[in-house]
A and B are shown apart, each in its own frame.
Chain A
Amino acid sequence: VTRVPKFSISRWVFAALVVAGAYAAYARVAGGLGGATNLNDGFPWGIWIGFDVLCGVGLATGGFTVATMAYVFNLRPYEPVVRPAVLTAFLGYLLEILAVLFDLGRPDRFWHALVMWNPRSPMFEVGWCVALSTIVLFLQFLPPVLERFGLDRSLRLARAVLVPLVVAGAVLSALHQWTLGSLYLIAPHKTHPLWYSLQLPLLFYVSAVCAGLAMTVFESCHSRKAFGIPLEVPLLARISRLLSAGLLVYAVIRIADLWHRGAWRLIRPSRPEAALFLAEMSLLLVPAALLLGPRWRRDPRWLHASSVMVILGFVAHRLNVSITAMQPMLSLRYVPKWTEVAVTLASVALGIAAFGFLVKRLPFYRHAGDLPTAR
């Protein structure tokens, strides 16, 4: 506790982001959505949905995936990254809920989504997935807290239900990604054919699994610098191998779908959409190909670089689906207002700060593990 905390971003940047975010939050409350955003009748959803919600929960998927590998597939080498990945996921979901409260026109009625049913609506299912996943993640997040405060009986209870929770979390996160992808199926007339696809639910799921794994690698690399956690290169290499396989599955679905629909013909050098598409795809394909090589996978710098590329490629895909794919199809334009960006950046900064705060005080790294290795 006496150690001077080292943040991966310097503290004054953090303070500036939080102040800007607080002002933007005030603008949202005082001036309504019109005062704080550039949203309009043609672009009812902006970066709070496109980035905070779609990308936030996608990057959180790593917590579900590595917990499943460690405790369901019984691959115990994954265990050291489970607790931090679950913490990332839990914080990611909390920040998503915060973003939704900013974005809803009537945040005071958010609970309607759970009470007033419409089973035909993907949004209804998204609401339930968010609520249930957050509860599951909260319970999975508890063991380090209970351990820290010496609540042994509660800890034993939490461990007894760990595997069912991990299974429930994995299924819920899959459904969450599936339904988030389904949201955009309703808008074929507004979404550019390079991104509109009936495979969006599946693509959202597979890409989220990849992004979650990349996020786990990324976070491990940064935790080493920030908190002095030793880097487990063999484990990260193993995760990256899985990541590479996931990316190849994604690429096959994505390319086969474009081919099948004939949409690949729209990839013409003169079009800005084509450039965005190619950038998005290369950010995912280059690491997929290179991570196949064992030599690349042993290099910590490359592990880090490839995780950054995958995260950027993933974010590019979701922003393209939710914002840029609609730009050429509509007469109206949308460029986020600075207050929108401020809320997004402040929530990312708060997430990183909360992660750092908790990791330094609770046993998320360097612990004995939550389940006995073999019985």
Chain B
Amino acid sequence: MPRPLWSGSLSFGLVNVPVQLVSAVRDLDYHFRQLHAKDKAPIDQRRFCSKEDREVAWEEIAHGYDLDGKQVLITDEELDSVQPRKTRTIDVEAFVDLHEVDPIYFDHPYFLVPAGDSEGTLRAYRLLVETLAKEERAALGRFVMRTKEYLVAVRARDDALTLTTMLFHDEVRPVKDVPTGGKKPTKKQLDNAVSIVQELSTEWDPEHYQDCYRERLKRVIEAKRKRKTIEVPTEEKEPKPVPDLMEALEQTLERLRAGEDPREPSEDGDRKKRSGNRSRGRSGSGKKRSKAKR
């Protein structure tokens, strides 16, 4: 099981369930170490005191906050004492229908697992899973993890409790601060665009989408290990803005109806042939495969 990131209890009414928080996402990215290019020795990071110009051990490092030019030192114990209950307890404040929550508020998904294996804990945990599933509700609560308070939604999934951290309303930028514009589309344009959306509509199946970048990176690393030289591809052309929206829409529709990929350039028949067996960066495989499956 993944390493717990927080432990405490989930509390609703007078029922307390001891729980641990584990991430519901695993990191599959390739990570690179910093090396000295000349001799491949790992680069070391050291912390130096800017005044004494000597290396400082972790134990000697404190948190400082700049309060109008004055540095205030704060210890972990003092931070824990700010709102002690919140650092140990997720207090459920309400139950809501998750469909009502705008997904823009969702931040990071976790699982909540029972802490310990006492009979009472496991039963209370099971009770909450069953109740949330049956009532089709999510529990809204808050807690503090690593010096930050989170609003969270707890729901039942796969016979377990998941917890999603959420943004507070004032952390979401208001739409009025973002400029949008453009002319209102004509009816014909809109009809065509809607037809394209409908042509491309498919059932959502997450397994149809693979991380192609990760796959390509894996191939590059493998090839490098075998001491092959890597061909650096030429820059792909940026897509140009369409001079005639209507024409672009009609061409796209035509090609979709003929069963072609509308993303391939039309005037260059030679290029089209080549890209068939060479995976280009932009052509994701997901949509095409899901269409074929239907």
Q: Do A and B come from one complex?
A: no
Q: Which residues of A contact B (CB under 8 A)?
A: none
Binding site for A on B (CB under 8 A): none
